[in-house]
Amino acid sequence: MFRVTQPRSFATLRMTNKVLQMILVQKYGGSSVANIKKVKNVARRVVAAKRKGNQVVVVVSAPGDTTDELIDLAGKISKLPNRREMDMLLSTGEQMSVALLAMAIHELGEDAVSMTGYQVGIITDEVHGAAKIEDIDARRMKAELAKGKIVIVAGFQGKTANHEITTLGRGGSDLTAVALASVLKAKVCEIYTDVDGVYNADPRIVSNARKLPVISYDEMMEMASLGAKVMQSRSVEVGKKYDVPILVRNSMNNAEGTLITKENKKMEKVLVSGITLNEDEAKVTILKVPDKPGIAAKVFSKIAEGNINIDMIIQNKSTTNYTDISFTVFRSDLKRALPVIRKAAEAVKARGIQVDDNIAKVSLVGVGMKSHSGVAGKMFSALAEKGINIEMISTSEIKISCVVDGRRGKEAVRAIHKKFELGKKK
């Protein structure tokens, strides 16, 4: 390593010292480290951030589709692989990335050390495959930073108090990054991905979708869970809880990105922040259920016992003595869910069940909705004008979701986006 040291005045020295105390956490997703060329690109960016006077902690995901490939491998051996061994397997993807990135940084003349979640001391509960972080030991990271090193941490993994390796659920590297930023009191947590930031609709669906300069935690959480695949929703929740500013940026350019932060008055002036599409759910209707107290309780506790997550639920008071109950489940759960739902239907003497696995959920998100009326009506008109039928509706303080025919989901997104004039101004 070769560096030129220049004499500095006291003033700049003092300034540098101050800047040096700033910790920056950067996270690079799988697509940003998918091959060696990209790993080298990340190394250059990390080194640049360090040379600007930051103490840098980098979190990386497994390269490209590695995690999916590992899951496939396990699937070739067992239909239901042991969850502990699954974590042992999946955690290797991230371990590959951290080592390669450390080497690439060394080649650029900076000191870096890679660490697994285990080595850092990211302590989780014992739920393999979906572990929750309970505690993070910041000591080793801080010691390495103090030695002038760049610290590279494997995302998505931790260990239990009993020294078992765990993983945090898909997309969990975001969570690692936000949690580290929180314990290290970083000035910002930068999430690097393959898009320029958070858009007000998926640019692959709406060609003139606009990138948002800023969005609130709550809106981002809704958008993440409603199908905008930019960030893992739990990580945004943690960011909100611990007040970590999160900046989503593109690892391949210098675009400004989207800042996820606390809600402010200015945001409320914006009526709609985003439109999302979720095509991963299916609708189930339990037909002709006796309309009397306790029935819904019975149905849904049976379904919950089967560990099946329900999203939207609709039931109306009937004029006869019977009613239908409709709800949505993840399509990936459907196979597993159907026998359980059938049993629940039998238990309440319903006539039967009906399944529609070709639905789409279109949602509109915006904190501005809290202080403005007429948003729902306008959304429904956009759909009506296209002759798109609404099958289910659900709302929260900052969100309206409609279930429509699966074949018309994308069209619905475009129609709503246009109605609210959310496109780029040309």
Task: Indicate whether 61 belongs to the interface with ligand ASP (CB under 6 A).
Answer: yes
Binding region for ligand ASP (CB under 6 A) out of 142-150, 170-178, 216-224, 289-297: 170-178
* C-beta of 34 vs 308, nearer to ligand ASP: 34
Any contact of residue 153 with ligand ASP (CB under 6 A)?
A: no
Using CB under 6 A as the binding rule, whether residue 158 contacts ligand ASP is answered as no
Amino acid type, 190: E
Residue indicated by tokens 């190394």: 43
Backbone phi, then psi, for 135, in 5-degree steps? -160, 150
What is the residue-wise DSSP string for 154-175?
ETTEEE-TTS-EEE--TTHHHH
Amino acid symbol at 291: D
* Stretch near Mg ion under the rule CB under 5 A, chosen from 67-75, 237-245, 256-264, 396-404: 67-75
Alpha-carbon Rg for the chain, nearest whole angstrom, is 24
Cβ atoms of residues 372 and 364 within 8 Å:
no
CB of 30 to Mg ion, least distance (A): 3
Q: Is position 155 an interface residue for ligand ASP (rule: CB under 6 A)?
A: yes
Q: In angstroms, what is the minimal distance from the CB of 161 to Mg ion?
A: 27
For residue 117 the two structure tokens come to: 């979640």
Interface with Mg ion (CB under 5 A), residue from 26, 32, 54, 61: 61
| Residue 153 and residue 173 in contact, taking contact as beta carbons nearer than 8 Å | no
The tokens describing 352, both together, are 């039967």
Asked if residue 51 lies in contact with residue 1, where contact means CB atoms within 8 angstroms, the answer is no
Binding to Mg ion by residue 172, rule CB under 5 A? no
Considering only residues 218-257, where is the footprint of ligand ASP by CB under 6 A? Answer: none
Candidate list 62, 145, 282, 289; residue touching ligand ASP; CB under 6 A? 62
- 171 part of the interface to ligand ASP, by CB under 6 A: yes
User: Could you say which DSSP state residue 332 is in?
Assistant: G
CA distances from 122 to 24, 57, 365, 372 (A): 18, 14, 33, 43
Q: Is 32 in the site for ligand ASP (CB under 6 A)?
A: no
Shortest Å distance, C-beta 64 to ligand ASP: 9
Nearest to 96 by CA among 24, 143, 157: 157
C-beta of residue 217 within 8 angstroms of C-beta of residue 236: yes
Nearest CA to 164 among 123, 132, 135?
Answer: 123
Q: According to the binding rule CB under 6 A, does residue 30 interact with ligand ASP?
A: yes
Torsion (CA) 11, 17, 18, 22 in degrees, nearest 10: 150
Using the minimum distance from each CB to ligand ASP, give the nearer residue, 121 or 129. 129
Under rule CB under 6 A, residue 96 binds ligand ASP? no
Output the smallest distance, CB 174 to ligand ASP, in A. Answer: 6
Choose among ligand ASP, Mg ion, none what residue 406 binds, the Cβ cut-off being 5 to 8 Å by kind.
none
Least distance in Å: CB of 73 to Mg ion? 15
For residues 187 and 192, what is the distance between their CA atoms, to the nearest angstrom? 16
Question: Is 30 an interacting residue with respect to Mg ion (CB under 5 A)?
Answer: yes
Candidate residues 26, 32, 124, 173; the one interacting with ligand ASP per rule CB under 6 A: 173
Per CB under 6 A, the segment of 172-180, 209-217, 398-406, 413-421 that binds ligand ASP is 172-180
**Closest distance of CB 197 from Mg ion, Å:** 19
Please list the alpha-helical segments (H only) found in 313-353: 334-347
Q: Which two tokens stand for residue 10?
A: 């006291």
Which residues contact Mg ion by CB under 5 A? 30, 61, 67
Which residues contact ligand ASP by CB under 6 A? 29-30, 61-62, 67, 93, 155-156, 170-174
